[in-house]
Amino acid sequence: MLLNQTAEKIRSMEIRGAGRIARAAAEALKDRAGRVETDDIDLFRREMGRAAETLVSTRPTAVSLPNAVRFVMRGMDGATTVREARDGLTDAADSFVLASEHAVERIGEIGARHIADGDVVLTHCNSEAALACILAAHREGKEIEVFATEVRPRNQGLLTIRTLNDAGIKTNFIVDSAVRSFINDVDLVVTGADAVTVNGAVVNKIGTAQIALAAHEARTNLVVAAETYKFAPRTILGERIAIEERDIAEVLDPAVAASLPNVRVRNPAFDVTPAKYVDLIVTEMGAIPPQMAYCIIRDYLGWDLTEFQKAF
């Protein structure tokens, strides 16, 4: 797929979900590398740099996107010719896509261990990783039931319930604001993540934080399923993750909004769940308490304070 087409599909949420976004970006960079016609290594690097910037600018919150782009672009490190740079970038893109797909499978295996036979599980949004845990538990023969939220305003919950229905899992579909009414019937909350900060706070689809609060009040454990490339290196020195606000048309018809001059429509796509409300983060490298998020950034993303400072 052409780079600009991929960027627009990511921006418009035709391609959505942090893992899918990351893989699409890797594939787009690979495609772009094959289309740049030059023998000048410096020009090639500049062209690929512009491509990377185009992709990263599409969704400011999902750190899987810049992490994927950074991983793929590092495939050019040490290259002295365009051919070496192109081959290195292509290999890095292929490696990332394969690792991303395997990560979801591995998270499913690990996450399923934390779902007991007979559990009622609540999930929010449409997370590949969270669903992998639920589906793996079901395949193991565990009798489970799921509560899935509608997920306003983009209704990603419809994708989730179709997947659960096709798997033959008993599912209850509820509006987001009904979570507290059912939380005492739930044994475990499993969500995905768009970003995990160095202190273990989780950025995920809007509504996750209030679900976490309801779960905490009910003493219901909250498990977050997240690939390691969703951890945010730039939070090491306190940089905050930008919360994307999307078009008001997703919430209210623009014609209606125009008739209400004293009303400002707000549409944040994500919120932040503090680490104290997260019981466990399941990654492809294992399950960790949120306080160990720094270890993931250091050991699996290759970032420490020294490397962070070099970036500025």
d(CA 160, CA 188): 17
> Are both 18 and 71 inside the same structural domain?
yes
Q: What is the pLDDT of residue 183?
A: 98
> Are both 208 and 259 inside the same structural domain?
yes
User: By the 8 A CB rule, do 76 and 100 touch?
Assistant: no
Q: Residue 31: phi, psi to the nearest 5?
A: -65, -45
User: What are the angstrom distances between the C-alpha of 43 and each of 48, 82, 90?
Assistant: 9, 9, 17
Mark which of 41, 71, 105 sits at the end of a domain: 105
> Are both 217 and 298 inside the same structural domain?
yes
Mark which of 105, 138, 172 sits at the end of a domain: 105
> Are both 75 and 150 inside the same structural domain?
no
Q: What is the pLDDT of residue 220?
A: 98
> Are both 52 and 136 inside the same structural domain?
no
> Are both 121 and 265 inside the same structural domain?
yes
Q: What is the pLDDT of residue 16?
A: 81
Among 119, 176, 194, 279, the active-site one is 194
Model pTM? 0.86
Q: What is the CATH number of the domain that holds 198?
A: 3.40.50.10470
Catalytic, 125? Answer yes
> Are both 88 and 137 inside the same structural domain?
no
Q: Residue 239 has which token pair?
A: 């940089």
Of residues 63, 195, 204, the one with CA closest to residue 123: 204
> Are both 217 and 131 inside the same structural domain?
yes
Catalytic, 42? Answer no
> Are both 144 and 38 inside the same structural domain?
no
d(CA 210, CA 187): 17
Domain limits at 152?
A: 113-310
> Are both 51 and 161 inside the same structural domain?
no
Domain count, the chain: 2
2-55 pLDDT, tens digit each = 889 999 999 988 888 888 999 999 999 999 999 999 999 999 999 999 999 999
DSSP letters, 282-311, are EETTEEE-GGGHHHHHHHHS---HHHHHHT
69-96 pLDDT, tens digit each = 999 999 999 999 999 999 999 999 999 9
Q: Is 272 helix (H, G, I), strand (E, B) or coil?
A: strand
Mark which of 55, 74, 105 sits at the end of a domain: 105
Q: What is the pLDDT of residue 60?
A: 80
Tens-level pLDDT at each residue, the chain (312 residues): 588 999 999 998 888 888 899 999 999 999 999 999 999 999 999 999 999 999 999 988 778 898 899 999 999 999 999 999 999 999 999 999 999 999 999 999 999 999 999 999 999 999 999 999 999 999 999 999 999 999 999 999 999 999 999 999 999 999 999 999 999 999 999 999 999 999 999 999 999 999 999 999 999 999 999 999 999 988 987 888 989 999 999 999 999 999 999 999 999 999 999 999 999 999 999 999 999 999 999 888 765 444 434 433
Half-sphere exposure of 128 (CA within 13 A, CB side): 22
Q: What is the pLDDT of residue 194?
A: 93
Among 119, 125, 176, 279, the active-site one is 125
User: What are the angstrom distances between the C-alpha of 288 and each of 36, 107, 113, 275?
Assistant: 42, 12, 13, 12
> Are both 200 and 127 inside the same structural domain?
yes
> Are both 122 and 81 inside the same structural domain?
no
Q: Residue 229 has which token pair?
A: 């490339």
Q: What is the pLDDT of residue 267?
A: 97
